[in-house]
Structure 1
Amino acid sequence: MSRKLVPLIILLLASLGLGWTWQRQADQNADADVLRLYGNIDIREIQLAFNGSEHLDEILVEEGARVTAGQVLARLHRERLQAAAAAAEARLAAQVQAVAALEAGTRPEEIEQARAALAAARADAQAAERTYRRIAGLAQRKLASQEQLDEARARRDAALAHVEQTRAALALAEAGPRAEDIAAARAVRDALAAELALARQALADAELKAPADGIIRDRILEPGDFATPQTPVLTLARIDPVWVRAFAPEPTLGRIRPGLPARIRTDSFPGKSYRGWVGYISPTAEFTPKTVETPDLRTRLVYRLRIPVCNPNGELRLGMPVTVEIDTTAEPLANPGDTLCHAADARP
């Protein structure tokens, strides 16, 4: 080998070594900026139960079925509930008519009838008065007995009282129902309306609906079983939102802030990542080794993190192990759910 090439070779090797060292240092710095945590997918589950007690009529879904919010999942026997609702509706309809009659007041025909009764009573009173006077004149001439006079006086007084009675009846007919009676009838109507609303709500509660989108995990009861509010019928696993439950060592807490973007990877889908963000950091340690810790033991404390993940295709499932990469140099997002999951491309 020529002696002239030795310095060139040494210079080339030194350049390669410097470049490798610089690249390694850059990689180490980049790795230092990315915090890697390991955890599992956490999905909230809902125990679905009826709001009433009755035998199950039918269950419309199987385990593993994907359901949407508001979808009917199961029904109770509804014959008694339907009959109760129909009876409440009939009672309310009758009371509504009673209130309408009171509010309408006395009919003109009834007022005319009361006036005619008053005129007849006055005519009877006038006739009784003439009879009494005639018998009184006969009694003065000893042509009528005292008993006849007393009977004539009594018929006259009765006729006059009947006139007052028919006059009061006419006044009542013209005045119409009392305001207190109308108010009481309206109160009864409102109470019956509330009873009908309760009956209809009980009938509606005979259908078990999904409160959110999700997947049926367990089918606990079967048709014919007796369902109660304390007995779940189905278990629903929510597919949105999905979280990663991870644990961060105590020394890393100073680098983690809520809202920091994260990437989530899983062995089930190699080469694919999901967008997420730091949503919750536990204020207390999950595991405290001893009451009195040495400096070495304090570094073993871990804090639970909840990292919401965009899961548009429902690929992340409960308990799935994942790797979380958090860029500690990024700026926290103000509305990470809207920024990440509602973007046009939610899968980076």
Structure 2
Amino acid sequence: MRRKKTAMTTRNDKPDWALTKRERAQAERAAKGLPPKKHPLRWLWLIALVALAGGAAWFVQSGRFAQFQADRAAATAEAQAEADLRAKRAATLQLAPFEVTTLAPATLMETLKITGSLAPVRQVHLSSEVSAKVEAVAVRAGDAVAAGDVLVRFDATALDIQLAQATANAEATRVQLEQARSDFDRTKDLADRGLAAQNNLDRARSTLAQLTATLAAQETLVANAQRARDNAVVRAPFDGVVFERAVDPGQFVATGTPLMTVVDLAALEVEATAPVSYAPDLAPGLDVALTVEGFGDRVFEGKV
């Protein structure tokens, strides 16, 4: 039996100038009626792929693949940690303590320094309200006093006599006035019944009015004498400090003679002159910081 060879032709749509060397050789074999030449490397590639697949399957099944993945993950983590450490070291800036400053909000202030005189808001110059001899002075300059404390005491002998005499005169006049009022009432009753003359009633009325006026004047004298007696003792009008003392025991003073000065140091004020250029910026209520000569660096706070 004879086999019939069939010539295989390969159709190629490429022009001759576009054919590769291998395609041109295949075309020549087809023109001669020969089958296409098989490339010997195809079997080698197939064998290599089968071997590679078998090796990969063995590598996975043997557990080495899991170990490989674990080692690779550990190496990756270590590399990442080292990279993070290098980045942290690069980002850290070492500063000395004196190079660090804490920022905080603050109010900017413009300071005006001026010099003035300090004076208490409340002070009193005590003067004598009687003419008498100073019997005792209980305080000295610089002493602290409370309201009502005795500061100066005068000899009140003459004042006591004047008060007693004025009181006695007023009492005598009061008795006379009571008698005159009784006489007037009796005379008026008689006159109303026609038993007393009108001139007797007028005389009784005049006596009553005169004694009433006399008693009023004498009561005024008693009040003045009592006030003078009370003024024989000078007391502190408020809590404060004796700033100045002007009298000593045994000294005779007249009415109006200065005795001492008491000041209240709880509230002080400063009188100072500021430049005209600062006038628009000065207003009541502005804060003021004061330093006083004799108090060192102590700062007192106040307001305009």
**1:49-102 deviations in Å (ceiling 9; x for gaps):** 211222111111223211123322111111111011101001101111111122
2:207 corresponds to which of 181, 190, 194: 181
The residue identity in structure 1 corresponding to 2:286 is L
Q: Does 1:82 align with 2:108?
A: no
1:56 to 1:103, Cα distance in 2 relative to 1, 3 A: same
What is residue 310 of structure 1 aligned with on the other side? none
Preserved CA contact (<8 Å) 2:184 2:204: no
Matches within 5 A, 1:164-175: 170=196
- In structure 2, what is the Cα distance between the partners aligned to 1:176 and 1:105? 11
- In structure 2, what is the Cα distance between the partners aligned to 1:214 and 1:228? 26
TM-score by length of 2: 0.55
**1:185-231 deviations in Å (ceiling 9; x for gaps):** 10011011111111112212222222333212333321111112353
1:255 to 1:94, Cα distance in 2 relative to 1, 3 A: same
What is residue 169 of structure 2 aligned with on the other side? 91
- In structure 2, what is the Cα distance between the partners aligned to 1:206 and 1:85? 12
1:273 deviates by: 5.0
Q: Does 1:54 align with 2:132?
A: yes
> Secondary structure in 2 aligned to 1:63?
coil
1:219 corresponds to which of 245, 252, 277: 245
**1:290-327 deviations in Å (ceiling 9; x for gaps):** xxxxxxxxxxxxxxxxxxxxxxxxxxxxxxxxxxxxxx
What is residue 118 of structure 2 aligned with on the other side? 41
Q: Does 1:100 align with 2:178?
A: yes
Q: Does 1:250 align with 2:276?
A: yes
2:295 corresponds to which of 268, 284, 289: 268
> Secondary structure in 2 aligned to 1:233?
strand
Preserved CA contact (<8 Å) 1:227 1:233: no
1:101 to 1:177, Cα distance in 2 relative to 1, 3 A: farther
Greater Rg by CA = 2
> Secondary structure in 1 aligned to 2:223?
helix
1:242 deviates by: 1.0
Higher RCO (CA-CA < 8 Å; seq separation 6+): 1
TM-score by length of 1: 0.48
> Unpaired segments of 5 or more residues in structure 1?
10-19, 115-166, 279-348
Preserved CA contact (<8 Å) 2:184 2:208: no
1:229 to 1:177, Cα distance in 2 relative to 1, 3 A: closer
Preserved CA contact (<8 Å) 2:127 2:259: yes
> Secondary structure in 2 aligned to 1:222?
coil
The residue identity in structure 2 corresponding to 1:69 is A
Task: State, as a whole percentage, how many aligned pairs show the same letter.
Answer: 23
